[in-house]
Structure 1
Amino acid sequence: MIILIGFLTFFVTAILLLILCTSMILSSVKKKPFPKKLLTTTLSGVLLVSSIYLYQTYFFTFSGIDRENFQKGPGPVTSPTEEFTAHAYYEPYGGSAGGVNVLVEITYNNEKNRVQTVYYSDAKSHFSLKWKNEDTLFILNDEPKYPNSNRSIELDIGKEIYDESGLACKSMLMKDEYETCYLNY
């Protein structure tokens, strides 16, 4: 929802900016009064668009993901010591022309109600979860036909996360949830 509001605000602000530039040129050529109200409105739009961008970038959490349309993925897979359980979910987007994202959440079995998202990426045709040891999860996410599409990674649970977009790596709200954040542009 906030993305839609941001897009509409950006669009209106861009139009106001064009009108402001035209009005400023006309006011200097025809010696008309400077359009102060239009300047104030345009600057307010620029400030609002900037605020939305900063909010989306530096105050990102995975809680904004639409979980109603999730589909269960492989798993759940419990760690060898049964301390953690990994759950994978698929998130379709964009309708028939869209794609699918994959999200991996870790449930801390010894801590009531503690769930942490550790992986978020575009889903590939080969996807699986496997525990390497008691706290290292290997996530296979690959499309063999396309060599640059490999998003597979080993993550130390409680220390590392992977977010393909990099938003989790920039977020000030999430910086205490991990020591290392991996991203792929």
Structure 2
Amino acid sequence: MILIIGLFTSFITVVLFLILCARIIISFIKKKPFPKKLGMATLAGGVLIFSIYLYESYFFTFSEIDRAFVQPGPGPVTSPTEEYTANAYYEPYGGAAGGVNVWVEITDNHEKNKVQTIYYSDAKSDFSMKWMDENTLYIQNNEPDYPNSNRSIELEIGKEIYHENGLACKSLLMKDEYETCFQNE
């Protein structure tokens, strides 16, 4: 919803800016006063766009994942001590020409089924999960024909997370949920 508001506001602000530029040029040519109301409206739109950008960048949470068309992925995969259960989910986006995101949630079976998202990325054709030990999950997310597409990682539960484009790493709301955040570079 915030994205739609941001896009709409951006469009309106660009139109207002173009009109403002034209009016400024006309005011210089015809020696008319500066269009203050139009200038203020354009400035307000710019401030709103900047505010939406800050919100999207620094107040990200995994609750924004579109769960309307979620498809279950591989799993559940239970840790050796049965303390944790890992589940993967697929999120299609962009219609027929789009793609699929994948995220992994860890359920703490001993702490009232507490659920934490630890991995979010574009899904590749070779996806699997396996426990390395009681607290470390290896997530394989790779496209074998494209060497730069490997998003595989080993994560320590409760301490590390991965977000492909780094939104979770910049989020002020999530900084207490992990010690280390990885992103694709």
- The answer to which of 25-34 and 142-151 deviates more is 25-34
- 1:99 corresponds in structure 2 to 99
> What is the DSSP-based 3-state SS (H/G/I as helix, E as strand, rest coil) of the residue aligned with 1:127?
strand
The RMSD of aligned alpha carbons is 0.8
| CA distance in structure 1 between the partners assigned to 2:107 and 2:6 by the alignment | 33
- 1:180 corresponds in structure 2 to 180
Q: Write the mapping of 1:52-131 to structure 2, written as runs, cut at 5 A.
A: 52-131=52-131
Query: Given residue 49 of structure 1, which amino acid in structure 2 is its aligned partner?
Result: I
Query: Given residue 30 of structure 1, which amino acid in structure 2 is its aligned partner?
Result: K
Query: Given residue 142 of structure 1, which amino acid in structure 2 is its aligned partner?
Result: N
Deviations 1:58-115 (A, max 9, x none): 0000001111211110010011111110000001111111111000000011111411
- 2:142 corresponds in structure 1 to 142
Provide runs of 4+ in structure 1 moved above 4 Å.
none
What are the ranges of 5 or more consecutive residues in structure 2 without an aligned counterpart?
A: none
> What is the DSSP-based 3-state SS (H/G/I as helix, E as strand, rest coil) of the residue aligned with 2:154?
strand
Q: Percent identity?
A: 71
- Give TM-score scaled by structure 2 length: 0.98
- 2:43 corresponds in structure 1 to 43
Aligned length: 185
Deviations 1:133-155 (A, max 9, x none): 00000000011000000000000
- 2:4 corresponds in structure 1 to 4
- Give TM-score scaled by structure 1 length: 0.98
Query: Given residue 73 of structure 2, which amino acid in structure 1 is its aligned partner?
Result: G
| CA distance in structure 2 between the partners assigned to 1:14 and 1:106 by the alignment | 43
| CA distance in structure 1 between the partners assigned to 2:64 and 2:73 by the alignment | 20
What are the ranges of 5 or more consecutive residues in structure 1 without an aligned counterpart?
A: none
- 2:26 corresponds in structure 1 to 26
